[in-house]
Structure 1
Amino acid sequence: MRRTSFARWPCSIARTMDLLGDWWTPLVLREAFYGIKRFDEFQQELGIARNTLSERLRRLVDEGLLEKRQYDSFPVRYDYVLTEKGRDFFGVLAAMSRWGDKWLAGEEGPPVTMHHDRCGHDCHAEVVCSVCGEPLKSAETSKRLGPGYPPKLAERPDVQRRFAR
């Protein structure tokens, strides 16, 4: 089955989902944040098919979230290390974890908790306004066309209605 590409859609959520593509990619990134670097370790921790893992790692390297660093020559073997772009994905995973802890964890509580080493407390992700620091809530935000929105699409009546609120 052929997959529709969202890579050129004027929406950062669609473009991000185009990159993630499936449920394995965020889990590969999660393992990278847990300190996993080697192919066999990813495969063991996730129980993912080798061909699927190869494809996900290749895509993450091609997209600049991971970098391959050779650690052995005979045979050639690589570590997969988070890049700045990859490390910047942490907030997305933290927000997903927070949502899952709130809505999907059983009575026993979250399966994994985050500990902020700097302040010494257990914590959870909070999405806040980058200017005032207040929590962002859907009912208190509006969306506006940004500078990267295609001008030709911005002229469409349905787009103008969606963003005119």
Structure 2
Amino acid sequence: MYRKRFDGMDCSIARALDEVGEWWTLLIVRECTQGSRRFDEFQSGLGIARNVLTARLERLTELEILERFPIAERANTFGYRLTAKGRDLYPVLVALMQWGDKWLAPDGKPHIKLVEHASGRPVEKLEVRGADGQPLGYQDVRFAAGPGATKKTRDVIGNRNGRVLRDQAEDES
């Protein structure tokens, strides 16, 4: 089946989804954050077909999200671990988990709590915050052109800001 590619779009979200938007990808990254390293651990933890897992591990390695490393206690066996690029996906996983806990947990009771290891305190909810620490929603944030902005991007920014920020003012009246 043909899959649309987003790597040419002027949108960081679309380009990120091009790399990690397929569900097995983030589930493999999740398994890495839970200590899985070997092919058989990924397969048993996810119940994923061998051919699909092989393809996803190869792709994640090509994208430098995972790296292969030799497993010392098993001759001629390699494991997989997150690279810095892969570890930077951890907040994405936490945000998805927190969203799922809020909206999808059976009876509103999440199965897992995240707790800071050193202090034992619960991890705070991830939020977009302003310089003063106040939570911000999408209607509180204005887009501005970045250093890589094209004319098309600038047009999208102007259109988005005009619609979203204006709608907020209308919503409040």
Normalised by the shorter chain, which TM-score bucket? Answer: 0.7 to 0.9
Q: Is the 8 A contact 1:126 1:135 kept in 2?
A: no
Q: TM-score, normalised by structure 2?
A: 0.83
Q: RMSD of the alignment, in Å? A: 2.2
The CA distance in 1 between the partners of 2:32 and 2:153, in whole Å, is 39
- Is 2:150 aligned against 1:150? yes
The CA distance in 1 between the partners of 2:43 and 2:19, in whole Å, is 20
Q: For each residue in 1:10-51, what CA deviation from the matched residue of structure 2 results, as whole angstroms up to 9, or x when unmatched?
A: 111111111113111110000000010001100010000011
1:118-157 pair list within 5 angstroms? 118-129=118-129, 131-151=131-151, 153-154=152-153
The CA distance in 2 between the partners of 1:28 and 1:8, in whole Å, is 25
1:61 deviates by: 0.9
Q: TM-score, normalised by structure 1?
A: 0.87
Q: Is the 8 A contact 1:7 1:18 kept in 2?
A: yes
The CA distance in 1 between the partners of 2:134 and 2:21, in whole Å, is 32
Name whichever structure is richer in strand by fraction. 1
Q: Is the 8 A contact 1:91 1:125 kept in 2?
A: no
- Is 2:14 aligned against 1:14? yes
Cα 1:34–1:133 shift into 2, 3 Å: same
Gaps of 5+ in 1: none
1:144 deviates by: 2.2
1:71 deviates by: 2.0
User: Which deviates more, 63-72 or 22-31?
Assistant: 63-72
Q: Which residue of 2 aligns with 1:31?
A: 31
Name whichever structure is richer in helix by fraction. 2
Percent same amino acid at aligned positions? 39
Gaps of 5+ in 2: 166-173
